[in-house]
Amino acid sequence: MEHAGKTIKIALLGCGTVGTQVARLLDEQSELLAARAGARLELIGIAVNNLAAQRDPAIDRSLLTDDPSSLISRADVVIELIGGIEPTRTFVCEALNAGASVVTGNKALLATHGPELYELAAQNDVDLYYEAAVAGAVPVVYGLRESLAGDQVNTVMGIMNGTTNFILDSMKTQGMDFDSALKLAQDLGFAEADPSADVDGYDAGAKIAILASLAFHTRVSLGDVHVEGIRSVSADDIASADAAGYVIKLIARAHRHSAESGEAGIEISVSPTLVAKNHPLASVHGSFNAVLIEAQSADQLMFYGRGAGGAPTASAVLSDVVAAAAKRVIGGHAPREVLYGNLPVLSAAESSSRYYMKLEVTDAVGVLAALTQRFAAAGISISSVIQNRSHTGLSQVKGSTPGEMESVQNAHITIITHLARQAAIDAVIEELKNSTDVIDVVSILKVEEN
Ligand code: HSE
């Protein structure tokens, strides 16, 4: 196949699950990749920490080196698959300063040091590609950066972490509690031994920060994202959501508020959310990812696929490698960071959502009326109320010392609101917690309707 005898030198930093697949595919698909890039893609070295470690047979051990700086200095394109912030950031800066284009899958690095890296790439007249940083094989970075360049994006939301989707899905379909579902995810190799970046929502937070920056032409970092993980989601929450017509998903969401609907700005969060069963994101199961984009002219677009794993993520890395190599052959650049939007990021209190809350209350005359009156006084419109049959529970004996309980008839009341500001919801919840009729605020979750 044609590639006019040109060669692009590729350096690979890191040889874990994804790096191994990238090296394998660069070799196995070399003819196809060369024809598409217009140049032979020569893997000139793989920088690793441990030269003696066991490797997949697909890895040519003669390419291994423990001197990343020397490797970087000889490359046209550097693929960074080490992860973490340091020393990775230093290597990426070295590569950009040495005139190499960089392809990275490092969401944490981009969501914390992205601006510095974009500026360095522009200063050095090279490109920074990061399709693999968000949702693995799913081409959503390209979708936002290039395919939707002629449109106005209003909302980006989705399931951007496969581990938590697998855990929530297992809790729903197999009736597991969180700890057992997490253990299953670890046993099957989805979840890391230290699963906190996934289950506490920071992995999804970094991804939505990257997508929001592209969608709204505004710098958004991980620190701007209001992040809530899934550790507090109980089997009871999942069963209650199911009965009310919802599934619980960890939703990463960024939305542009126009000035007409209050203060102009971006609201951005990661939170366990009740998703209506007829919503497109409700049918994303197991470790799959999906990103739903709402744009002014295109309307709804859904990107769905494998968000993790060696070969799927390598597919995204190689698409960037081909693009970076082709630009070096024929000239031109990847789209640069565009920042005209300059929108403020709204605080969590200023954001709006529908809310679901489950309350345990005393089952007595006037309790429901008093409860709904509090919502009305706060300007929150109620969409639905379900009261379960009463059950025998415990309540603080009125006028007694704390801890003295009596047996009473209690009921669970589930309320779903229309769109409400979080500040108003927080104020009502505070009042409810102090009300003698409310025994417990069992759970509060955001709601997404179709
Ligand atoms: N750990 C992530 C997930 C994949 O479970 O989706 C890499 O971001």
| Mean pLDDT across 171-196 | 88
| Mean pLDDT across 25-51 | 98
308 alpha carbon – ligand 1 mean position (Å): 5
pLDDT at position 395 is 67
191 pLDDT band, cuts 50/70/90, is confident
> Looking at the predicted structure, is the pLDDT value of residue 3 above 70?
no
pLDDT at position 263 is 76
- CA angle at 349 for the pair 145 and 294, rounded to the nearest 5°: 30
How many residues can be counted in the chain? 450
328 pLDDT band, cuts 50/70/90, is very high
* CB contact at 8 A, 227 and 270: yes
Quick check: CB of 162 below 6 Å from ligand 1? yes
pLDDT at position 389 is 78
> Looking at the predicted structure, is the pLDDT value of residue 1 above 60?
no
Considering 207, 327, 358, 446, which one is annotated as catalytic?
Answer: 207
Write out the two tokens for 279. Answer: 């919503």
Is position 107 annotated as part of the catalytic site?
Answer: no
* Number of the ligand 1 atom closest to the C-alpha atom of 204: 8
163 alpha carbon – ligand 1 mean position (Å): 6
134 alpha carbon – ligand 1 mean position (Å): 9
Q: Please name the residues in contact with 259: beta carbons below 8 A apart, sequence gap of 6 or more.
A: none
Three-state DSSP class for 333? coil
> Looking at the predicted structure, is the pLDDT value of residue 321 above 70?
yes
Give, in order, the Cα–Cα distances in Å from 274 to each of 129, 254, 283, 448.
Answer: 34, 17, 13, 6
402 pLDDT band, cuts 50/70/90, is confident
Q: Comparing 329 with 394, which gets the higher pLDDT?
A: 329
- What is the phi/psi pair of residue 448, to 5°? -120, 120
Residue 405: closest CA among 416, 394, 414: 394
> Looking at the predicted structure, is the pLDDT value of residue 200 above 90?
yes
> Looking at the predicted structure, is the pLDDT value of residue 243 above 60?
yes
CA distance 60 to 55: 9
Look at ligand 1, atom 7, and give the residue with the nearest C-alpha: 308
For residue range 87-141, what is the model confidence (pLDDT) as tens digits? 999 999 999 999 999 999 999 999 999 999 999 999 999 999 999 999 999 999 9
> Looking at the predicted structure, is the pLDDT value of residue 58 above 80?
yes
- DSSP state for residue 84 in the 8-state scheme: S
Of 198, 249, 289, 317, which is best to mutate to test ligand 1, by the most ligand atoms within 8 angstroms of its C-beta?
198
Quick check: CB of 229 below 6 Å from ligand 1? no
Q: Please name the residues in contact with 165: beta carbons below 8 A apart, sequence gap of 6 or more.
A: 159, 249, 250, 284, 285, 286, 287, 288, 289
For residue range 382-401, what is the model confidence (pLDDT) as tens digits? 999 999 877 777 666 666 77
Name the burial class of residue 398, with classes exposed (0-12), middle (13-18) and buried (19+) by CB atoms within 10 angstroms of its CB.
Answer: exposed
For residue range 132-164, what is the model confidence (pLDDT) as tens digits? 999 999 999 999 999 999 999 999 999 999 999
> Looking at the predicted structure, is the pLDDT value of residue 2 above 60?
no
Give, in order, the Cα–Cα distances in Å from 429 to each of 54, 56, 234, 285, 432.
Answer: 55, 54, 20, 32, 5
Quick check: CB of 198 below 6 Å from ligand 1? yes
> Looking at the predicted structure, is the pLDDT value of residue 228 above 60?
yes
Quick check: CB of 161 below 6 Å from ligand 1? yes
204 alpha carbon – ligand 1 mean position (Å): 8
Look at ligand 1, atom 4, and give the residue with the nearest C-alpha: 308
406 pLDDT band, cuts 50/70/90, is confident
Across the chain, what does the average pLDDT equal?
Answer: 94
